[in-house]
A and B are shown apart, each in its own frame.
Chain A
Amino acid sequence: MNKTYPSLEDALDAVEDGMSVMIGGFGGAGAPIELIHALVDRYKRTGSPGNLTVVNNNAGNGAIGIAAMIYAGMVAKMVCSFPRSSDPKAFTERYLAGQIELELVPQGTLAERIRAGGAGIPAFYTPTSYGTQLAEGKPVEEFEGRPYVRERWLKADISLIKAELADRRGNLTYRKAARNFSPLMAMAATTTIVQASRIVEPGGIDPEQVVTPGIFVHRIVEVREPKQEEALLREGAK
């Protein structure tokens, strides 16, 4: 079994128009910048893949990463908890102009919906958002005397993930708080595409240290010394 791909472009050829794409990261930590920009480059070259639904905690910062996807015009809808950042112009302008759709989801509900999607659980109940605008229209049920809101699973066609180490079978480790949504998103997509700082032989990762088991991962491409989104922004990247 060998899930490695020779290039970003090859690994990304599964991404098509109109797909839903989960993208790992919380702010800049864990953002798979090289995968995202290879996709933006392809869109600029060929006009595809467009009309995407993107799932991420945020909605882009500055003009790189998800913000670059939005500026390029690839994104029809964002599913996120916090579409603000130090420079949210890309999303804000298009949202206020009615050019991009927003599904706002509380952060913990977003995480659990993705986990449920990957775990084969179509719905679950959570206390979060009960009695608020974000629960409108959703079924409510009482358990042990407290009201809970029913939420549905969230799945995607594609997940784009940044890992630290990968082996050829797709076992992954992450770096520090760059882990965030990535282990959940890796479970929830039909095709999970990973950029890893280093690809090792099977056995090269201690089984005790594996965070995402390879069964959830379909394609891996090595990106040595990957860029870090926040560091790029602070260097003034455009």
Chain B
Amino acid sequence: MVSKLSNAQIAWRAAQDLPDGAYVNLGIGFPEMIAKFKPQGREVVYHTENGILDFGQAPPAGEEDWDLINAGKKAVTLNPGAAFFHHADSFAMVRGGHLDVAVLGAYEVAETGDLANWSTGPGSVPAVGGAMDLVHGARQVWVVTDHVTKKGEPKLLKECRLPLTGVACVTTVFTSLAVIDIVDRRFVLREKLPRISLGDLQAVTGATLVVGDTVGELNVPEL
């Protein structure tokens, strides 16, 4: 297997697609890293479910205000023009179609756009948070993920096996090997690492990759 992209590199690649002027929700954890790589000159307003638009970076250690946190319960700061609102308004922004992009992590993504990212099945304490809301409403729902599980099994499948977060909701998957759009319930390959062959990429993908006339090169700087 060729060397794959790191999480930071996947986040960098996703960040290149942030549209200027977009309202964006970045999921807790890995997706949050995308903010760091937003291309200069593009203005993006970040939404956090707990009730802030236009929050900024973390404050220096020791200067946290714990009433000023994001959905991951990490301390943040405010940008000029920020706004506070209550939870019903916050999720009106989500479900009402006002967000341009929501980015989430995934256990599994199906070619139909189904997403599983909240439960690994029975035996643990179930917790869903805002994920089931976020996958409905944002105009684009992106997933950032390793292309395969830690055991090397495909995470991109014909059908999800784990409990679903949402049905037919994902629009683009940024993986450690490729960028894949979901169009008409098929995985359409937009870009792949130049050093991996189409055959090898298909072999670690659990559903057919549709390949158009051209496939772009997934080129990401060392980070």
Contact = CB atoms under 8 A, between A and B. Distances in A.
B86 A179 contact: yes
B63 interface: no
Interface residues on B, range: 35 or more
Contact of B137 (A91, A127, A228): A127
Contacts of B1: none
Contacts of B133: 106-109, 128
A145 B1 CA distance: 44
B166 interface: yes
B130 interface: yes
B50 interface: yes
13 contacts: A26-B51, A28-B69, A83-B127, A85-B73, A102-B125, A106-B133, A108-B91, A108-B95, A132-B165, A176-B68, A177-B51, A180-B87, A228-B67
Interface stretch (A11-19, A37-45, A181-189, A213-221): A181-189
A176 B128 CA distance: 24
Contact of A175 (B50, B67, B86, B166): B67
Interface residues on A, range: 35 or more
Interface string A22-46: 0000111110000000000000000
Contacts of A29: 50, 66-69
Contacts of B66: 28-29, 228-231, 234
Contact of B132 (A88, A112, A132): A132
Nearest to A230: B66
Contacts of A123: none
Q: Which of A84, A107, A182 has the most CB of B within 10 A?
A: A107
B208 interface: no
B41 interface: no
B184 to A, nearest CB: 16
Nearest to A28: B66
